[in-house]
Structure 1
Amino acid sequence: MNMETGTPIRVDIVSDVVCPWCVIGYHQLAKAAHETGIGIDVHWHPFELNPAMAEEGENLREHLAAKYGTTLEGSIKARARLSEMGAALGFEFNYADDMRMVNTFRAHQLIDWAEDQGRGHEMKQALFAAFFTRRENLKDPAVLGAVAEIIGLDRAAASDVLESEERAELVRQKESF
């Protein structure tokens, strides 16, 4: 809690669930807040790193090489560094050569739905773990429904939200903002 007022500080984070630096940054912030006794009230906002990603996605290493010019050696070093930093913060990165980068629009719709139930932050954390720790396909509605169930939300209701795309326009507006 804010030591002067006792009120948590609102923190707005614009992030994608496939962004490793977003995981690191959040966990560093949470650790600092805990160590200083300053409460934070985190609000996640949708951002797609790859909104035009092909339906089948792309190999993560190949995607990063094409997008940023990352070499194989550079990719290995970056993954090791991220894994080390994550471990120090209590988050497990479990990189593999066959990991795929996917479009995350459905995941953002799921977070938006979970937010209405007071569980958006938990959903964001669960999706980070699904992608980076368990290497799950965050484009797959069945995977997303299972993640909702992991945090105690109704799997069928989550699947209905994704199938109906009832959150699509709202999430696009939030991304645009």
Structure 2
Amino acid sequence: MSKHLKIDFVSDVSCPWCAIGLAGLQRALERTAGEVDVELHFQPFELNPNMPPEGQDIDEHLGEKYGASPEQSAKNREAIRERGASVGFDFRMEKRGRIYNTFDAHRLLHWADEEGEGKQLALKQALFKAYFTEGKNPGDIEVLIAAAQEAGLDPVRAREVLEAGTYTEEVREQEQFYLRNGIHAVPAVIINDRHLIQGGQPPEAFEQALRQIAAGIAG
């Protein structure tokens, strides 16, 4: 009999290690199919909550935020591309020249979580692909609506949610909840509200953690 696990995946759609971590987690879930039954929710975290709508050049941003030179940034991007490829995620770094504001993407993800099983995951994957593979702006309303449609969501309702500012308060509250509880870097994968796995871990690390946690559940 499979063990039920609730997973809260705290992340940002502009975080490359979050895309790597999600791909790693999904591979681990494939390997543990039949052993664990997972309820997966994506929770909001903004790496750059004060980013203006037009965004910022990525090298300029990384230099200001981390003191990284363009050469260091290029080396880091290549390492990320290789890690992504190892778990089946396609980073096309040459298409991604800017960092954008992601708050509206989090509002849309909050809505998707209410639209049925698998919809939020499909939207999250569509948003990662739009930004990291296609180089699109995840703060642009038309990009967000297209991602929603790709995920099997109603594009008309998606536009209504985005234009009306729906779920603004709910997303802000969730962001503050995780910050108050010590989440200051993502991805942060929280299992059954107790177990924290930090960072873009490889599938083997997630697989081991899932099995260990499931083994500790009575029944």
Give the direction of change, closer, same or farther, for the CA distance of 1:19–1:98 in structure 2 (3 Å limit): closer
Partner of residue 162, structure 2: 162
Equivalent residues in 2 for 1:3-152 (5 A)?
5-37=1-33, 38-39=35-36, 40-96=38-94, 99-118=97-116, 119-152=119-152
**Contact 1:57/1:100 (<8 A) preserved:** yes
Q: Secondary structure at the match of 2:139?
A: coil
Equivalent position amino acid for 1:152 in 2: G
The structural deviation recorded for 1:154 is 1.4
Cα deviation per residue 1:120-168 (whole Å; 9 max; x = unaligned)? Answer: 1211111111110111111111110111111111111101100001211
Structure 1 vs Structure 2 CA RMSD: 1.5
Distance 1:31 1:147 in 2: 23
Is the 2:96–2:132 Cα contact (8 Å) retained in structure 1?
no
CA contact (8 A) 1:46 1:108 kept: yes
Which TM-score applies when normalising by structure 2?
0.75
Which amino acid in structure 1 is aligned with residue 21 of structure 2?
G
Give, in whole Å, the separation in 2 of the partners of 1:103 and 1:35. Answer: 35
- TM-score by structure 1 length? 0.91
Report the count of equivalent residues: 173
Identity of aligned residues (%): 44
- Note the residue ranges of structure 2 that are not aligned, 5 or more in a row: 178-219
Greater RCO, CA 8 A, separation 6+:
2
Deviation at 1:13, TM superposition (A): 1.5
Deviates more, 1:133-142 or 1:5-14: 5-14
Query: Gaps (5+ residues) in structure 1?
Result: none
Asked if 2 retains the 8 angstrom alpha-carbon contact of 1:46 and 1:175, the reply is: yes
Contact 2:95 2:134 in 1 (8 A): no
What does the per-residue CA deviation read over 1:103-126, in whole Å, with 9 as the maximum and x for residues that have no partner? 100000000111110211211111
